[in-house]
Chains A and B, each alone.
Chain A
Amino acid sequence: MRRGAPGNPKDALFERTTAVFAFGVLFLAVLLFALLVRESLPSIRKFGAAFLVTGTWDPVAESFGALPFLYGTVVSSFIALLIAVPLAVGSAIFINEFAPEWLKAPVGFLAELLAAVPSVIYGLWGIFVLVPVLRDYLMKPVADHLGWIPFFRGPVYGPSMLAAGMLLSIMIIPFILSVSREVLATVPRIQKEAVLSLGGTHWEMIRIVIGQHCIPGIFGATVLGLGRALGETMAVTMVIGNRPDILLSIFQPGHSMAGAIANEFTEATGELYLSALVEIGLVLFLLTFVVNLAAKGILKTMVSRASRGI
């Protein structure tokens, strides 16, 4: 579209008005970052880089290190990806390649509904349904028989890294699923038909085509899911146990960055305490920012490659 008739003052005014609103959005984004940095400064000055690599979290002595929170966030997100990626990719393949037409829309709709459920409801369900079931039927038997493996060591309480990871996986599956479906849809039809016409089975077609085309895209979808998982607050904090210790066993409680902010913000009395919590927020902000940017970059190169037919 060309610009409006030159010299029409009303057109210029309208364009400028919309630009002012657009500037407002830009301003809010900058303001958010600036406020996070400003409020974290006391903590950054006091602890420096040690904040990220030390594990003491002692509000009374005003000594803060965020490592246990960082560890819990990363490990629970990683567990979530381990569960979510195979399931999401598998069901994307099912919906796109195998499912009869009448089944595609309802399954897609249900996955969207899964994304619409508020996280506090996942947390509620996690506390009263998922955690007891996991504790009695998975964690206790496994800890009894395989407790010598450090990852499965007891005692089993229920709230744990594993519970958080599983709940998170349910929450991020819809995102990985929908991006995976888009990625699968970029495969040129002609290539699929070529494999089939050579006598390949459906599965061989999928294996060849996905191996050729979709691995980077699925990786992009995974990173996108990671971005979601890292910042999730309510569901995680309700089932992870909120204990700021670094424990190897996934049956043990842990903590998360978002959970620390959620639980302690209103109790943070001292200036330094509050600042340390905001700094956790700043680190989480930067972490998700980088992860989301990476996901976008990966998916963009994928799409541009697909459009060039490579």
Chain B
Amino acid sequence: MHAIAFRRRAADRATKVLFALCAFAVVLPLFLILFDLLWKGARELKWTLVTDLPHPVGEPGGGIANGILGTLTIAGLAMAGGIPLGVMSGIYLAEYGRGKFASAVRFSVDMLAGVPSIILGIFGYVLWVLPMKRFSAWAAASALAMIFIPTVVRTTEEMLKTVPVSVREGALALGIERWKTTLFITVRTASAGILTGILLAMARIIGETAPLLFTALGNQFWQTGLDQPIAAIPLQVFNYAISPYDDWHDKAWAGALVLIGMVLVISTAARYIARVKK
């Protein structure tokens, strides 16, 4: 009897330790990656990194300023198109979305959310680069918008659905028109949640590399127009990383540090907004 009780207790302890080790193994890579980023990225982390254009190989210094501007440009364009489309579609699905058409829209949102990002690069290429015969910021932005939109539609719909029906009914009972109720009361009540969704989607597209490879292409200089190839931080990190030069490897780490910094700032802001408004 004691032997059995001991064995059962030992099994209980052993599995507990095992599961704890699993959790440790899951979070360990994050610390390793962040440690390496700080350790190796700090070497090249100077002001010139964010103010200067890239220098040719072997020439010390130089930065990724054009990439920072390029990333912000492409993400900004994607969001300028994606926010109205995403939020309005989310409103439609939450407020009027029943029936076959709404199901079809939801299905396509789910489908788009699961598409590998490299395929959206093909989308941007076929839509812009083939007809214009030129890589461009437009092509990159439309590829990123395709990643941005489904996330925003989903969070908008979910957030609007968390607004209690009584809020809508209260407004309608006061004689406020339905469209005004939706826009100025329901959407406003859910605005923090919607903004959180937008910021998280933004953090995601800023780090995307694959869809930019053959849409933005990259650029060693400041861009002169949106119909020209454009630099982006993820592309610079990639190109420096696969180059055979040591000083470029250092720049890849520094660029990655800047990139993860941007992603973390944006997603922390998103979390902060979500928490404060609760």
- Show the binding face of A for B, using Cβ within 8 Å: 1, 3-5, 8, 10-11, 13-15, 17-19, 21-26, 28-32, 35-36, 39, 86-91, 93-95, 97-99, 107, 110-111, 113-114, 116-125, 127-129, 170, 173, 177, 201-204, 206, 227, 230-234, 238, 258, 261-262, 265-266, 278, 281, 284-285, 288-289, 292, 296
Contacts and interface: CB of A to CB of B under 8 A. Distances in A.
Nearest to B11: A203
Contacts of B120: 32
Given A203-B12, A261-B119, 15 more contacts: A1-B95, A3-B178, A11-B177, A15-B95, A93-B22, A118-B263, A119-B207, A121-B37, A121-B260, A124-B241, A129-B36, A202-B12, A234-B209, A261-B121, A265-B122
A217 B121 CA distance: 33
Given A119-B207, A123-B238, A35 B126 contact: yes
Nearest to B104: A26
A125 B88 CA distance: 39
A262 B237 contact: no
Contacts, number: 265
A21 B156 CA distance: 13
Contacts of B119: 32, 36, 231, 261, 281, 284-285
A123 B256 CA distance: 11
Contacts of A121: 33, 37, 207, 237, 256, 259-260
Considering residues A13, A25, A113, A203, which has the most beta carbons from chain B within 10 angstroms of its beta carbon? A25
B27 A110 contact: yes
Given A110-B30, A118-B208, A24 B89 contact: yes
Contact of A116 (B110, B121, B267): B267
A117 B122 contact: no
Contacts of A30: 108
Nearest to A133: B32
A122 B30 CA distance: 10
Contacts of B3: none
A22 B102 contact: yes
A74 B95 CA distance: 41
A118 B260 contact: yes
Nearest to A90: B22
B116 A232 contact: yes
Given A1-B95, A26-B108, A21 B88 contact: yes
B165 to A, nearest CB: 6
B96 interface: yes
Interface string B16-50: 10111111011101101100110010000000000
B118 A262 contact: yes
B93 A296 contact: no
Contact of B96 (A15, A86, A128, A201): A15
A230 to B, nearest CB: 7
Contacts of A265: 121-122, 125, 213-214
Given A28-B149, A231-B116, A258-B118, A91 B177 contact: no
Given A124-B256, A129-B32, A288-B116, A19 B92 contact: yes
B241 A238 contact: yes
Considering residues B33, B36, B109, B150, which has the most beta carbons from chain A within 10 angstroms of its beta carbon? B33
A99 to B, nearest CB: 7
A94 B88 contact: no
A95 B238 contact: no
A266 B217 CA distance: 9
Contacts of B25: 87, 91
A22 B93 contact: yes
A35 B252 CA distance: 34
Which 9 residue pairs across A and B have the least CB separation, nearest first? A231-B116, A118-B207, A90-B22, A4-B178, A29-B108, A14-B179, A21-B88, A18-B92, A91-B23
Considering residues B26, B37, B126, B183, which has the most beta carbons from chain A within 10 angstroms of its beta carbon? B26
Considering residues A17, A111, A124, which has the most beta carbons from chain B within 10 angstroms of its beta carbon? A124
A225 to B, nearest CB: 12
